[in-house]
Amino acid sequence: MVALEDYVARIEETCGEEKDFIVILKYDKKEEAINKILKKAKVERSISAIIFELKFKDVSFRLYGTGKAIFRNLKDKSVLQSVLTDLLL
Amino acid sequence: MLDPYKIREDFPILKRKINNNPLIYFDNAATSQKPRQVIEAIKNFYENHNANVHRAVHTLSQEATELYEEAHEEVAKFINARGMEETIFVRGTTEAINLVAYSWGCRNLTKEDEVIVSLMEHHSNLVPWEILSKLRGFDVVYVNVKKDGTLDYEDFENKISKNTKIVCISHVSNVSGVVNDVKKIAKVAHEHNALTLVDGAQSVPHLPVNVKDLEVDFLAFSGHKMLGPTGIGVLYGKREILETMEPFQGGGEMIRDVSFNSAEGHCSITWNVLPWKFEAGTPNVCGGVGLMEAIKYLRGIGMENVKAHEEMLTKYAMQKMAECRKVEIYGPKQASKKCGIIPFGVDGLSSHDVALFLDNYGIMVRSGFHCAQPLHELLKLKSSARVSFYIYNTREEIDRFVEVLKEIEQI
């Protein structure tokens, strides 16, 4: 059974008034996870094909080719986990 | 002037590539990288001299003790303290400040007293005093910071009073890089019979610091920000003050005698001499050895040269960053008021976005509040990105950084 933990190494809640979430994908699953995300989310903009501005179910986020993503304006971590579940599983 | 290209050869990590780009390390205010000499000293200690220190007669213990004591002496020389009795090894700046708060503050601060801190402090020089104020009932009084990020000295002089018992201030702000005139602050504090505690975490690694000249009572700093390992730091204290203070923690090493008095039913205890009175338990011997090697390395370069190099880099970076249309530098615009640290923002992007973008190109910068939330609130910043330099950084790295910043502006 595939779980979120298979793809996500760590979720960091940033310090700062913005309270963004940084999602760090597992290094060895990075490519697979990025492909899954790009298939499901709408690409609003791509910069040099290494940075993607994406939208999924009204949630805007930015995905980096390095396997990191930044999610903004989410109510809490449970919302993020739900979005990630839909994107990755 | 120092030669950063030659220095870089001593730092193995700088040969790394991150995301297929050469590593550019601009997060030195958080921690510095370590030269081969420090890494070798640590390895050599564990391979050849490892033992617990003091109160053993065997050869290894004596070797370890000599190294550990030599490390204290080296630190004392570095900051011009009178001797190793004034240099207490702790885990880092945070523990050093907590030591003063609990050991000195618990016994000397009462309801009528005031502790002065500034609004530019790192949380580590603010939270311990707020915690203690709840226990002891004294007031924590905050000195304002001006709009340009510099300390409001007039406000300080207005707020200090006969009730002030200690002034706790950073030498260099970890957010803006502003250098505070701690000599002037110590003078005013002493005129009011107050002590001064200086957070030197961002100054001791970057400037010549002379405790006799500054006349500060306490100085706290961390080894890992000055080429040394993590887990080792220093509290400098004037001998006369340290002698009047009770220990911070109890245990082995910090006592001279513990004798059970059967008539009274308890132990009578006498403390060890300085600095061991404040170093309970087995200390971080290897950390001390690593710190000593780091200090020798810095002394070899010369702290005046370190300062000049960072001033040059700061000035150059600020000039280059000014070419970017959407980049705003926070804090003073004159490099002369700063010490190797530049906080900034890119219009329309969060600091974390900026840091992630730079990371993509192998450029390491920090983002967020930098453990100084009150200062960000005061300057009305949601957060900030921060570059901070050290001896191995070069103008070419700044050129590359600004090149990438210009790409970020296209987002």
Q: Identify the CATH number of the domain in which residue A21 sits.
A: 3.30.310
Q: What's the CA gap between B367 and B345, in Å, rounded?
A: 10
How many Å lie between the alpha carbon of B404 and the closest alpha carbon of chain A? Answer: 13
pLDDT of residue B301: 98
List of chain B residues whose C-beta atoms are within 8 Å of the C-beta of residue A47: 410-411
Of A72, A58, A67, A74, residue with least CA distance to A88: A67
Q: What's the CA gap between B132 and A30, in Å, rounded?
A: 47
Residue of A nearest to B410 (CA): A47
- The three-state secondary structure class of B191 is helix
How do residues B265-313 score in pLDDT, each as one tens digit?
Answer: 999 999 999 999 999 999 999 999 999 999 999 999 999 999 999 999 9
Of A86, A34, A15, residue with least CA distance to A56: A86
- Give buried/exposed letters for A7-30 (b at 16+ CB in 10 A, else e): bbeebeebbbbbbbbbbebeeebb
- pLDDT of B340 > 80? The answer is yes
How do residues B208-231 score in pLDDT, each as one tens digit?
Answer: 999 999 999 999 999 999 999 999
Q: Does the distance separating the beta carbons of A66 and B353 come in below 8 Å?
A: no
pLDDT tier, B380 (very low <50, low <70, confident <90, very high otherwise): confident
Judge whether A70 is closer than 8 Å to chain B, CB to CB. Answer: yes
Judge whether B368 is closer than 8 Å to chain A, CB to CB. Answer: yes
Return the axis-axis angle of helices B303-321 and B395-408, rounded to nearest 10°.
30
Q: Does the distance separating the beta carbons of B410 and A16 come in below 8 Å?
A: no
Give the mean pLDDT of B377-399.
Answer: 95
Average pLDDT, chain A: 91
Residue of B nearest to A23 (CA): B356
- pLDDT of A19 > 80? The answer is no
pLDDT of residue A47: 82
Q: What's the CA gap between B314 and A17, in Å, rounded?
A: 27
How do residues B12-35 score in pLDDT, each as one tens digit?
Answer: 999 999 999 999 999 999 999 999
For this structure, is B371 an active site residue? yes
The bridge status of strand B114-118 relative to strand B164-170 is: parallel
Judge whether B376 is closer than 8 Å to chain A, CB to CB. Answer: yes
How many Å lie between the alpha carbon of B75 and the closest alpha carbon of chain A? Answer: 34
Q: Does the distance separating the beta carbons of A64 and B359 come in below 8 Å?
A: yes
Judge whether B30 is closer than 8 Å to chain A, CB to CB. Answer: no
Element at A45 (helix H, strand E): strand A42-47
Which residue of B19, B352, B369 is the best one to mutate when testing the A interface, meaning the one whose CB has the most A CBs within 10 A? Answer: B352
- pLDDT of B363 > 80? The answer is yes
pTM, entire model: 0.95
pLDDT of residue A16: 80
List of chain A residues whose C-beta atoms are within 8 Å of the C-beta of residue B359: 64, 66, 68
Range of the domain at A78: 4-88
- Cβ contacts below 8 Å, chain A against chain B, sum to 55
How do residues B322-334 score in pLDDT, each as one tens digit?
Answer: 999 999 999 998 8
How do residues A27-64 score in pLDDT, each as one tens digit?
Answer: 999 999 999 999 999 999 988 778 899 999 999 999 99
Judge whether B383 is closer than 8 Å to chain A, CB to CB. Answer: yes
Answer for the pair B314, B342: CB distance below 8 angstroms, yes or no.
yes
Of B129, B131, B168, B130, residue with least CA distance to B151: B168
pLDDT of residue B303: 98
**Position B115, amino acid:** V
Give the mean pLDDT of B59-63.
Answer: 95
List of chain A residues whose C-beta atoms are within 8 Å of the C-beta of residue B410: 47
How many Å lie between the alpha carbon of B20 and the closest alpha carbon of chain A? Answer: 10
- Structural domains for chain B: 4-30+302-408 (3.90.1150.10), 39-299 (3.40.640.10)
Answer for the pair B256, B272: CB distance below 8 angstroms, yes or no.
yes
Count of the separate structural domains present in chain A: 1
- pLDDT of B141 > 80? The answer is yes
